[in-house]
Structure 1
């Protein structure tokens, strides 16, 4: 078996208001997490989207926030690899916001293609799934599912910076979901999903710019080129098309 490295609505009258979680038993926690919350005012949704866009477009905040994109990118590789029957050896996240997911299995075939394909579209797909949960007013559930996924990913991390990135992200989400009032939870949840939708687009442009300036044969697009015979630039276009479509769907679901 070869080891393969992979880089980079209206309010419900029965709805509850999200509050800091104060339950003392596991059953109480689960019940509170999966309550349907009252949706926030439309201005909060719009403001969260505007802040997310600002973070993506501003160099300093983007440099830090891009670590979250890398976590989701590599998590996308890992989840699809498992679904395709591949074995996961580990995930590494680096301080330059790059990452690598190492899997074991056939070095070619549909499973490998899907595994490589998953990375660049994962943030947008996860963001769109988050929007669907928010449309269903499952704000706290969204935050806690995110925490559980990060805990699962932590078991696969194989370097210190990766542990710091995943644990730090998880602690921020936990703190918001456990200690903050409804308005803060809602604003954060909408910001987080908006961010993933918007942030899914920028790395595609960065990938193509990097391929032009300094060709990287280990990029996802170039690996797909070797696996399928379809040029890497065409795969960059596919990444961009999927992510822009997900962003458009998210805007439509939240704003119309």
Structure 2
């Protein structure tokens, strides 16, 4: 089976199975949080000013900021979806290395930074507090299988959301290009159709998803283990 087919099957299976897990919707805002933080960090790197971030119960979010018009709006527009896709791949990479603690700390740290510096609406603040508490409990629970289950649940939901976001963006780009979120903003800045940007986001997300799935399946470890070792003797 090809790598791409394996990736697609895992994504479909994840989308089906995670919806059966009670309270799984709670964790879908992790992807939103990372997406909006991507915009916020890009704004600061590009010498802009972040006003605040808002997270909503429908798993959407928005980053309000000031930035000089021109080329800076392009990396700013790209940052959200690319960061979310890369973060999902990062979580699986840490799983593949057996370093769940690094992934747990990364999730908690991003939530703390969001709460302390950026998010200001009621739902967003309450969700972040809840996530920090739940994540902390899961990280310290004395049952390894529960820690692993929780970690993979969040990781797979992040992965699923990172791919579904661009798919929804493609749909909106066809239906109403002016309402296609970041793709619409990039279209206004560059003159390139929103659909083209949405497709680019999907390509990036699928590429990261493929890397994530193969980290989960342990392909990186198996290749390393099977690599011949060169030994020299004096």
TM-score, normalised to structure 1, is: 0.72
Deviation digits for residues 76-98 of structure 1 (CA, Å, limit 9, x no counterpart):
21122223232211101123322
Task: Say yes or no: does 1:196 pair with 2:158.
Answer: yes
Paired with 1:190 and 1:121, the residues of 2 have a C-alpha distance of 21
Paired with 1:251 and 1:168, the residues of 2 have a C-alpha distance of 28
Is the 8 Å Cα contact of residues 31 and 161 (structure 2) preserved in structure 1?
A: yes
Paired with 2:208 and 2:141, the residues of 1 have a C-alpha distance of 31
2:186 pairs with 211, 224, 229, which one?
224
- Which residue in the other structure is 1:160 paired with? 122
SS of residue paired to 1:97:
coil
Residues 14-53 of structure 1 mapped to structure 2, 5 A cutoff: 52-53=14-15
1:63 deviates by: 5.3
Deviation digits for residues 28-60 of structure 1 (CA, Å, limit 9, x no counterpart):
xxxxxxxxxxxxxxxxxxxx98874325667x9
Is the 8 Å Cα contact of residues 53 and 198 (structure 1) preserved in structure 2?
A: yes
Residues 95-244 of structure 1 mapped to structure 2, 5 A cutoff: 95-109=57-71, 111-155=72-116, 156-217=118-179, 219-244=181-206
Q: Which consecutive unaligned segments of at least 5 residues does structure 1 have? A: 1-47
Paired with 1:67 and 1:171, the residues of 2 have a C-alpha distance of 15
- Which residue in the other structure is 2:56 paired with? 94
- Which residue in the other structure is 1:37 paired with? none
1:236 deviates by: 0.4
Paired with 1:195 and 1:249, the residues of 2 have a C-alpha distance of 16
1:120 deviates by: 2.0
TM-score, normalised to structure 2, is: 0.78
Task: Say yes or no: does 1:75 pair with 2:69.
Answer: no
Aligned length: 208
- Which residue in the other structure is 2:230 paired with? none
SS of residue paired to 2:70:
coil
C-alpha change, 1:188 and 1:57, in structure 2 (3 Å) is closer
SS of residue paired to 1:91:
strand
SS of residue paired to 2:65:
strand
Paired with 2:179 and 2:15, the residues of 1 have a C-alpha distance of 31
Specify which structure has the higher proportion of helix: 2
Kindly report the root-mean-square deviation, in angstroms, between the aligned alpha carbons of the 2 structures.
2.7
Is the 8 Å Cα contact of residues 55 and 123 (structure 2) preserved in structure 1?
A: yes
Q: Which consecutive unaligned segments of at least 5 residues does structure 2 have? A: 1-9, 220-234
Is the 8 Å Cα contact of residues 67 and 97 (structure 1) preserved in structure 2?
A: yes
Is the 8 Å Cα contact of residues 154 and 163 (structure 1) preserved in structure 2?
A: yes
